[in-house]
Each structure stands twice: as C-alpha cells, then as structure tokens.
Homo-oligomer: A and B are copies of this chain.
Amino acid sequence: MAEKYVYNFKEGKKEMKELLGGKGANLAEMTKLSLPVPPGFTLTTESCKRFLSEGQTIWASLDNEIESHLKELEQITNKKFSDRENPLLLSVRSGAAHSMPGMMDTILNLGLNDRSVIGLAKTTANERFAYDSYRRFIQMFSDVVLEIPKVHFETIIEKTKKKKGVELDKELDGNDLKEIVKKYKEVYLRETKEEFPQEPIVQLRLAIKAVFASWNNPRAVFYREMQGISKLNGTAVTIQAMIFGNKGDSSGTGVVFTRNPLNGDKKLFGEFLLNAQGEDVVAGIRTPNEIAELKVLMPKGYQQLKEAAKTLENHYKDMQDIEFTIEDNTFYLLQTRNGKRTAQAAICIAVDLHKEGKITKEEALMRVKPQQLEQLLHPNFALKAIEQATHIAKGLAASPGAASGRICFTAEAVEAAYEKGIKTILVRQETSPEDISGMVKAEGILTARGGMTSHAAVVARGMGKCCVAGCSEVTINEEEKTLKYKGGILYEGDLLSLDGSTGMVYLDDIEKTKPALGGKFTELMGWVDEIKTMAVRANADTPEDAKQALEFKAEGIGLIRTEHMFFKEDRISSVRRVILAGTVQERAKALGELLPMQKDDFYQIYQVVEERPVTIRLLDPPLHEFIPVKAEEIRQLAETMSLSEEKLKDRITELNEVNPMLGHRGVRLGITYPEISRMQVRAIMEAALEFKIISKIEVQPEIMVPLISDVKELVYIKKEIEDEIKKVFIEKGQTLTYHIGTMIEVPRAALTADKIAKEADFFSFGTNDLTQMGFGFSRDDSGSFISEYIEKNILEKGPFDTIDQEGIGQLVKIAIEKGRQAKPNFKIGICGEHGGDPASIEFFQQLGLNYVSCSPFRVPIARLAAAQAAIK
C-alpha cells in the first residue's frame, strides 16, 4: 500500500501539527468539535519533503490521493468543479508546524475558469461578485505560481477606473470586471506564452507545487533562520472549499482574538470588513471595523462568533486568534491558533486562566516568553518630556513601547544605519515580509496603512518591537522618501519618536523612563520563585545598579566589575599613576589614594545588598584601557607624575598590546602587580568589617579571580589575598567569613577544572570570554563576519547572544563535571551575558548550575526562564 500523504479534516487532530501544519491540524480539531468549518483536506509536510527531495515533482500516488479527496469534497459540498451551475471553488493555503505569519503564499477562488465563473454568477445571482472573484484569482495565481509582477494587473484596474471616471474598486460593475478578466488573461498569455489554465485540476497541481516550492523561498528561509526553526520537514498544504465573505453586505470576514492581545482584557478583540475576502483584512489594504460593530450589523453572526470563541478557548486553554467568514449570514471558522500577544497581555491572560481554573501555575508560567518581558521592563517616554514634545500624528497602538530614531524608508537603509550604530524608525506605507530584516534592526515601525492585525502589527508584536500602524494622518512617499504631516515634511535621516502604547507620533528624540510593573506581573513572578531551583543574581557595578537588581528580586550580586569603578573622574588620575608608576613606592602611593575610594564603593554596595552574597571580581581588563590617549591628558598626567612627556609616552607605548584580549589582564595583573590585588582585597574586607560594626550585618563577600588558566595562578594569588585579609583582620581585631573563587573563562581552565576546584570555593563561568577563546572570535571584531556567517547559514545565532551548546557548552560541561568530581557540592554560577538569555538559562539548568547572574533589567527575564527551565 502506498504511504498516506493526504488527510481530510475528519482524520486529523490538533496534536498532528508536525504532519498537517498548524492550520491543517486546527481545522481538523475544529471539525472534531463540530464547529462550522468548510470541508477540506490537507497534504502533509511529509509530502512537501518528498516533493522537494524528488526534484519538485508530484508522484502518481499523491495525484491519486488528491483526486479521490477532491471527489469526496464534491460529494460533501454537492458542488462540481467547472460547473456552469454550482461550481466547487477552493482555497489553497500553506501551513507549517510553526506559525509563520505572512511567510507562505495563499491562493483563493481556485477552480474558477471561463465556465465556472458563469456558474458562480448564477448561484450567487451576482455577476459582479463572480467576475471580481475570477480576476482576483487570476491575479493571485499569477503572482504566487508564476511570479508575474502585480503591477501589470493593478495598472489595468487603475486604467479602467480612470476611463470610467470612478475612484473605488467597488464602483466597477460586472461588465467592467468581465473586461478586466479578459485583459488579465491577455497579460497572462503575454507573460507566460500560454493560455491561463482552465482545468481546475491543473490549476490545483500548479498551486500545490508553488506552495511547496515556497518553503524554500529566501523570505521563508530567512524567517526560519531568524526564529531558529530548523528541524521541520516542510509546509503542509490545506485545500478547502471556498466560502465568500465578499458576496455582498450580508457577507464579511474578520480576525478576532478571544482576549485583548495588547493588555489581556477578557473581551473579544478584533476587526472585520463587510463584503471582503480574508486577505483584505490581513493585508491592511482597507481599514477595517472594530469587532463590536459586528454585533450591530450582524447580530446572529456575532453571537455565533462569541460562542465559537468561548468553545475554542475552553478547548485550547489559551487565548485564540480566529479567522472567520460570514457568507450570506452563515458563519464559518477558517482558522484558529494561539494568539500572539504583548508581554502585558501574556502575563494577564496566564494569570487569569490560572485563576479561572483552566491551567496550572506551571502552565501559566510557560505561557509567557521570558524574552517578551523586555517590553515591560524597557523604558517609556518620560511624562514631562512628552508634554514638551511635538505631536504630529496618531495611528493605531499596534505594539507597545517607546522608540526614537532616524527615519528610514527602506529595510536596506535601516540595515545600513544599524551597521553604523545609528538608531532608526522604519517608515513604510505598509510592511511586507521583504521588510522583516529591516524590522528586526529598527527601534520602531510606523506604517500609514493597515490595522491591528496587519503584517506590521502582528510581526512587531511578535518581536516585542514598538509599532504604530495604520497612521493615515501622514502621507508617506517611499519613492521621494518623504513623510508629510499636517504642518510639515520629514526626510530620511530626520528624528522621529513613536509611542506604541498610545499610537502617538512625535518629532525628535524624546527622553524615556522605566515602566511601573503591575500587580499581575508581581503575582506571576511570585509563582516563579516558588518553582525555580536556580538562583538569579545580578551583575552590578554601582549601588544604583544593585538597588535596581534587588527591586527585580535578584538574590545577590553575581558580578561586580571593579574596574568600572576605576574609570570615574575623581580616580582615573590615581589609577593612571598606579599603572604608569616607575617604582614600587610611586605605585604604593597612588594605590594608597585609591584605597579609600574603592572601599567606599564597596561600602555603599554592601549597604544595599546587606547579607546577600556579593561576588567581587578583581581587576580584569588590560591596563592600557585606562591610559590617556589625548595629547592634553598625557601632558597633564606627565605633570602630575613629574615625568617628561617623552617618558610617559614610552611607557604608554610599552603597554600597548597586539591582542589585548589575550594579553596582560585578569589574574596576570594580580601576579605581576600583587599590590593592586592587595589594595582591592583590603578595600573589600575593610569595608565589610566597618559595615558589620555599624550595622551588625555580615556581608558575604566572594572574591573572584578572573582569567585563571592554571591552578597555580590561583594558588599564587590566593596566598596574596589571604595574607592581606589576615593583616586586615588583625588590624581591625575582627573577622568575617569570605570565599575565594575563580572565573572559568579560559578553555584551559575548563579542561583542568578538577585541579582548580580543589583550590577554589566557587566557580563562575565567564561565557563571553569562553566563547571568544573557544571560537577564536574577538567580540570587538567579529561583528563583520558573524553577520555574514548567519546570512550564509554557517551560524544559526550569534554565539555571544545564546550560548553555543555544541562547542562552548562542552567546555562548560567538562568544567562542571570535573569541578564536582573534585568537590561534589561545589557552587557554580555564570556571570557572562548568557546569564540573561532564556535559551542559555535552560541549558544551564540542565547542567545543574547553582545560579545565573545577569544585568539588572534582565533579572525578571532570567527568573522566569529559570522557572520554565525547572518545569521542563
């Protein structure tokens, strides 16, 4: 028996997503729930895979399956292909296992030809509708299957309207459209040298092949890459009897969310268009009505929609994004899927669904993407600044957040500016999948057309990117590259600000503030702490950072980069004298000046962090980072040091390194200049003891040695550290518990972690450096080729964003195994930037790390990711 490649809707279910795609599986599921779904069937993703691997041909047994399903469809619908009386028409849609909005191509009204158009006109008693459908079909088919430029068709309509002296498409009548169909077919003949195919089965085969082939079109490949989707077979193809939302004013089509995807309110949210086909809503060509209006215009349809929404939400236990069509007052569901939502809505819906008893706390936690929280945590416009800002227009608040940047009218311009570090706002008439690469890199997106479910709005929300859509108050000329508003005109490069939460558009850059986080956020994050097993600390270099981190419930400080303190204006001169000192005495003097300042730094942080653990890393960067480069600064410094400029310049030149990242830094500094480490250790301990005396609180200092590559380095510096601590204890007549541990950030340290663990109280992975050295990628220099690597599909993701499990992950694993082999309950954390990346956090949970540490604003993200990792 031949393998089965086609399933009708009654044969499938929602669990068969991998095989039937999201659309096909959900249509089958809705059919099972006895919801009104037009009948149809689905070609599996396996068939796509076979099609692509067999030279893009359809094999005989698949042809047979398709034909027998078509027959079945004719029977169910009691319609016939090419029928002059009551023809069967089809929609052909792609659908992969993961939702890829706008990526794949759809063909409606398939089956129309010179005969069946007459039948359609008859059954609908609407010739205009029939020929409008036919011309749409020809246009879509030509575009999707044969890539004939749309402009050829659009010109014909424009000319016809001009000739007739009308402005809108709907002012054209049946005869106009008949004429248009004729001209469309001429275009088709001219462009392809063949007649437009009349046989529905031929149309269908071509359409199926086009959808299959589109799996590998560059846009789709880019989207999958961007989303890290790599293991799918291909797309399924769903073929379904057509339902017409454009049969007149008793018909319509719409898209609705079962709850508000912006804020989570439990209320239908969406839009519809009367007398329109589904694509008109999504494409954003006409600005649609709010869903509430449907209640007035079609009370029965609205009621059915409401009930279906409830059924679906109860069944799927999540907010649904539903497409529906009403044909002659009969309601049909065309699609359901879990709806995309803002972070705020995701939290609200998850908390509400749990409270409604529909999902567990764990399920609720899994419903919020940690990465999405960034939307909530990121700043909004400062109120005062808004009052003074120049408001120029208002559009739809399509995706919340605040963004400022320079206007770019093309994705290319955005990308070019991004390379130069310039922030941009992408301004488009409406966006399309071709714009995605630019949308990723823009701060925000402004469109003049399209609604809340337009491409721009949906994609921006998915990305957590600020977006104002359908802002018809402005006129965008993409060719002239101008944005005209009431009272002015802007050009590419001008500054613009968007408020995606209000839809407001402002001139210039506007000051931003951090957002207040609401009660449901707090509630959800409370559950996070019940469930997660890994601690979350923050990287903080100042008392302010530490305070912010604790507000976000960091459980300690995982990394203080003491060198950041050295850059402050009041101490950089002393730091420079430490580095450039010619004698030990000179160095000691300058260190003596630094000691009270550094001590005060720690004291202030202790006041915030109190009894929580606080990891302090000793000086790490190459010394020349502190050195003046400007002639005037050098002159001044030479004067302070009573040194000739010549001599000072020589010393500065000596400090220059070819590869500073692999040079004289980290513990290497401590070994060659132990007096610097000793000053730092003294500051750490004196501050801790003084704080203890005043506050009665014991801080938990963890002194961390950077850049260890061999255990002997640690032994050496530990002796220095312990010796200095002993001195401080004796001087102060007090002691304090402390720990001395090490970064694991050099590959060799990971490989010899068993020996290092014996001398260390803890490990903290520095995955930035580990990635730099493990890959041989300089973070400062690899930007240029990493982006090319991602484009050329050599890398899936930048290894500095998400940890490379395959390679660098092995080093992390080896170090943990060897470390715990030496000391079974050894404390191990991570303080590289991967500590705030959800995918990396999941990996760290699997490896059994004790904590992750990340920047303060990522702490909530890390906490949620840690909880999700624990649940998984």
A154 within 8 A of B: no
Q: Are the CB atoms of B781 and A663 closer together than 8 Å?
A: yes
Distance (Å) between the CB of A530 and the closest chain B CB? 37
Interface residues of A in 746-805 (CB under 8 A from B): 746-748, 751-752, 769, 772-778, 780-782, 784-785, 788-789, 792-795, 804
Q: Are B658 and A660 in contact (CB under 8 A)?
A: yes
- CB-CB under 8 A for A659 and B806, given A671-B792, A709-B775, A793-B712: no
Task: Give the contacts of A642-668 with B (CB-CB under 8 A).
Answer: 657-664, 668
Considering the chains assembled together, what is the distance between the CA atoms of A710 and B795 in angstroms? 9
Kindly state whether residue A716 has any CB partner on chain B within 8 Å. yes
Instruction: Tell me the minimal C-beta distance from A656 to chain B in angstroms.
Output: 9
Chain B residues whose C-beta falls within 8 Å of the C-beta of A775 in the assembled complex: 709, 746, 748
Inter-chain contacts of A658 with B (CB < 8 A): 660-661, 778, 780-781
Minimal beta-carbon separation of A769 from chain B (angstroms): 7
Are A778 and B672 touching (Cβ within 8 A)? no
Chain A interface bracket (under 10, 10 to 19, 20 to 34, 35 or more)? 35 or more
A528-554 vs B, CB cutoff 8 Å, 1 = contact: the mask equals 000000000000000000000000000
- Whether A657 contacts B778 in the complex (CB less than 8 A), given A671-B785, A751-B811, A785-B671, comes out as yes
Which of B745, B752, B788 lies in contact with A672, CB distance below 8 A? Answer: B788
From B662, B785, B789, B794, contact of A777 by CB (8 A): B662
C-alpha gap A745/B776 in the complex (Å): 9
Does A707 sit within 8 A of B, measured CB to CB?
Answer: yes
- Residue from the list B707, B751, B807 in contact with A810, Cβ < 8 A: B751
Interface membership of A83, Cβ < 8 A: no
Q: Which residues of B contact A772 (CB under 8 A)?
A: 662
A785 with B709: CB separation less than 8 A: no
The answer, among B664, B710, B784, B789, for a CB contact under 8 Å with A784, is B664
CA–CA, A746 and B776, complex, Å = 6
A808, CB-defined interface residue at 8 Å: yes
* Residue A563, interface by CB 8 Å: no
How distant is the Cα of A588 from the Cα of B622 in the complex, in angstroms? 40
Q: By the criterion CB–CB under 8 Å, are B794 and A663 in contact? A: no
Whole-angstrom CA separation of A564 from B660 in the bound complex: 25
Complexed CA–CA distance, A659 and B624 (Å): 14
Cα distance A289–B788 in the bound complex, in angstroms: 76
Minimum distance in angstroms from A70 CB to a CB of chain B = 42
The CA-CA distance from A769 to B747 in the complex, in Å, is 13
A664 / chain B contacts, CB cutoff of 8 Å: 781-782, 784-785
Report the bound CA distance from A668 to B658 in whole Å.
20
| A661 and chain B: residue at smallest CB distance | B659
Are B662 and A778 in touch, CB under 8 angstroms?
Answer: yes
Given A661-B658, A662-B661, A671-B792, are A748 and B807 also a contact pair (CB < 8 Å)? yes
Q: Is A601 an interface residue when CB atoms closer than 8 A count as contact?
A: no
| Nearest-neighbor residue (CB-CB) of A713 within chain B | B794
Contact (Cβ within 8 A) A657 B781: yes
For the complex of A and B, list the 9 residue pairs with the smallest distance between their C-beta atoms, beginning with the closest: A662-B778, A748-B807, A659-B778, A663-B781, A658-B780, A657-B781, A746-B776, A712-B794, A747-B747
Q: Interface on A for B, CB 8 Å cutoff?
A: 657-664, 668, 671-672, 707, 709-710, 712-713, 716, 745-748, 751-752, 769, 772-778, 780-782, 784-785, 788-789, 792-795, 804, 806-808, 810-811
